[in-house]
């Protein structure tokens, strides 16, 4: 996937995350925000490495999200808390995995629909 569509999808993901938080509250807003956070990390990985295989990007995005979540156990500096959170919450781990899986599935479908010879790895 090329960088321009990836950047657009990242912007849409940020807008979706902010929109969900603005329009909804409770568990739906929180856990959809968690999943979208990992989707954004996935898109950053794809932006950096456009030919990355979806399953690799998925594992990396989920891994980064999990590392950040477990780091919360030791404490996140106050300056980084708005970006990285502050409280460890075990259900977040599931929603990070769900976001990474959905991003990989969508990426795989995009690659399957791309014209052959585009050079994208599937």
Q: Where are the domains of the chain?
A: 3-113
Task: Give residue 121's pLDDT.
Answer: 46
Give one DSSP letter per residue of 32-96, joined into a string.
Answer: HHHHHHHHHHHHHHHHHSTT--HHHHHHHHHHHHHHHHHHTTT---GGGHHHH-SS--HHHHHHH
Q: Is the pLDDT of residue 92 over 90?
A: yes
pLDDT tens profile 37-64: 999 999 999 999 999 999 999 999 999 9
Half-sphere exposure of 111 (CA within 13 A, CB side): 18
Long-range contacts of 78-84 (CB under 8 A, 24+ apart): none
Q: Look up tokens 């790895």; give the residue.
A: 121
Judged on CB neighbours under 10 Å (0-12, 13-18, 19+), 122 is exposed
């Amino acid at each position: 996937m090329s960088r321009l569509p990836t950047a657009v999808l990242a912007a849409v993901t940020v807008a979706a995350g902010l929109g969900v938080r603005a329009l909804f509250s409770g568990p739906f807003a929180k856990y959809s925000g968690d999943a979208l956070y990992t989707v954004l990390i996935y898109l950053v990985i794809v932006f950096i490495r456009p030919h990355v295989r979806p399953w690799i990007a998925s594992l990396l995005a989920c891994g980064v999200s999990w590392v950040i979540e477990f780091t919360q156990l030791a404490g996140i500096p106050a300056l980084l808390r708005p970006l990285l959170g502050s409280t460890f919450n075990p259900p977040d781990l599931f929603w990070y995995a769900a976001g990474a899986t959905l991003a990989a599935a969508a990426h795989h479908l995009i690659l399957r629909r791309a014209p052959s010879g585009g050079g994208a790895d599937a």
